[in-house]
Amino acid sequence: MPLASATAHLAADAPDYLVAIEAGRHPLTGDEGPHEGGQDRGPAPFAFVLSGLAACTAATLRMYMQRKTWPSATIAVAVSLHADHDGIQYIRRDVAVGGSLEEAQRARLAEICERTPVTLFIKRGTRIDTTLSMT
């Protein structure tokens, strides 16, 4: 049984890269931006990956704070994909936590950011087994 699932369908008559996606039971639309030949009618694939990382980071921090019965606080996570001068890609993640937390609590949250499930998934890499069939 899968831990998570998603499907993507690109109809033969769909405009270029407009993809119908189902993430679990949630319908989404993916597309490429105009610079890639799309119409920007939905997030591009890397934006979906980054969104998952941002959402996981925020939710994991909230769960940790609740379990520790720390004061409730706002959590804002911004992630972006970059390439260094050698072309090596990396993700930059900026996390802002509001509220009245002590410095030790903030330091602990920084540690937790590095151990969220999606962070670990991205950092370790994951095998992909592909089967291609013709319909």
Does a structural domain hold residue 132? no
| 107 closest CA partner among 64, 67, 66 | 64
Average pLDDT over residues 35-56: 95
Whole-number pLDDT of residue 15: 85
Does a structural domain hold residue 133? no
DSSP 107-127: HHHHHHHTTSHHHHHHHH---
- Looking at the structure, do residues 59 and 34 belong to the same domain, yes or no? no
Q: What is the count of structural domains for the chain?
A: 2
Q: Please say whether the beta carbons of 122 and 53 come within 8 A.
A: yes
pTM: 0.91
100: confidence class by pLDDT, cuts 50, 70, 90: confident
